Chains A and B, each alone.
Chain A
Amino acid sequence: MSLVVFTALTGLVCADTPINPVLGAVAILCIAVGAGASGALNMWYDADIDAKMRRTRGRPVPAGRVQGADALALGIVLSLFSVMLMGMALNWLAAALLAFTIFFYAVIYTVWLKRSTAQNIVIGGLAGALPPVIGWAAATGTAPLNAWLLCAIIFMWTPPHFWALSLYTSEDYAKAGVPMMPVVRGAPSTRRQILVYALLFVPLCLAPAVTGLGGAAYFGVAAAGGAVFLLLAWRLFRSHAGEAQGQRTSDGLYDVRAGARDARNLFAFSILYLSLIFATLLGEHLLGAQPLHLLSR
């Protein structure tokens, strides 16, 4: 949720179009409420498998604090209100993109992909990648290439991020019957695919310095962080993470045994790296820094 709000805000600010602060705040509120609605619908539908996994069993529906029907009703009502308000307050392109994002997460990912294919989080990742495009569209009424570049960066970030996590939580996914990549294809294949996605993801993170979106600070942060990302992905590829049972030492996401440290390290750094590059873009556009336009020099 915080990542959704943060990346949407970055998209809205990077559009470099003056927007009334009240309307900007309403746009971010609509995106946050839409994300909450998607979450409620997901938790209603997935209550059975959430109850079987350590990471998710404390959620309100499996824990019995909220009735499934109430979560469903809340999800539908919040979806309708957020889309309607986005359309009336900002524009209907942003509203349509928000509606599509909610539909994609709640129906395409949750109902269809999650339980049926190991590519679930690859394709489903589009829902998490769209918020900067919605933010950009809210500010301008358009969705140009640079907005979709931000979307592509998050889209390519999702597989190495989630697969690194699933390498040391695969016992939970197997117990719940969710076909995550380590469960279906095994740990070595997952580590190889993480490396391939990392090799595609890092150059993509440098692209904003070419397309006039990012400045010198962005290029420096993306390049230095990208090098670390690649190093951690390489170390994970060379490790045996995901091959031993009982890799976690507690319910926490970061407490792992020695064999799973490389997976935990990439998972943790992936969050930091994505946050850093979006924060740098946000800072540059707020401060009016000059973009690089590397190719046109």
Chain B
Amino acid sequence: MSDPNRESEAESKARRGRNIALAVGLILFVILVFVVTIVRLGGNVVTKPL
């Protein structure tokens, strides 16, 4: 007998698609925050006296 709680192949595929989309979204967000940080800091870090 098949387990009723077990995901069908279509459900499993859809879940995998969502997870990949989420991972790509998070990576893009991290890159975006990094770029924004560099832009906002500008040359201030380099020119700051030690």
Contact = CB atoms under 8 A, between A and B. Distances in A.
Contacts of A26: 32, 36
A89 B29 CA distance: 12
B33 A88 contact: yes
Interface in A7-43: 20, 22-23, 26
Contacts of A88: 33, 36
A81 B26 CA distance: 10
Q: Is the interface of B mostly helix, strand, loop or mixed?
A: helix
Nearest to B18: A70
Interface in B1-50: 18, 29, 32-33, 35-36, 39-40
B14 to A, nearest CB: 10
B19 to A, nearest CB: 12
A85 B32 CA distance: 9
Contact of B39 (A20, A70, A81): A20
Nearest to B35: A22
A23 B36 contact: yes
A23 B33 CA distance: 11
B46 to A, nearest CB: 17
A23 B37 CA distance: 10
B7 to A, nearest CB: 14
Contacts of A81: 29
A23 B32 contact: no
Nearest to A20: B39
A89 B32 CA distance: 10
A89 B38 CA distance: 11
A138 to B, nearest CB: 13
Interface in A214-257: none
A22 B33 CA distance: 11
A23 B40 contact: yes
A98 B10 CA distance: 37
A86 to B, nearest CB: 11
A64 to B, nearest CB: 12
A77 to B, nearest CB: 9
A57 B29 CA distance: 32
Contacts of A23: 36, 39-40
Nearest to A26: B36
19 contacts: A20-B39, A22-B35, A22-B36, A22-B39, A23-B36, A23-B39, A23-B40, A26-B32, A26-B36, A70-B18, A81-B29, A85-B29, A85-B32, A85-B33, A85-B36, A88-B33, A88-B36, A89-B36, A89-B40
Interface of A: 20, 22-23, 26, 70, 81, 85, 88-89
Give me the 7 closest cross-chain CB pairs, A-B, nearest first.
A89-B36, A22-B39, A20-B39, A26-B36, A23-B39, A22-B35, A81-B29
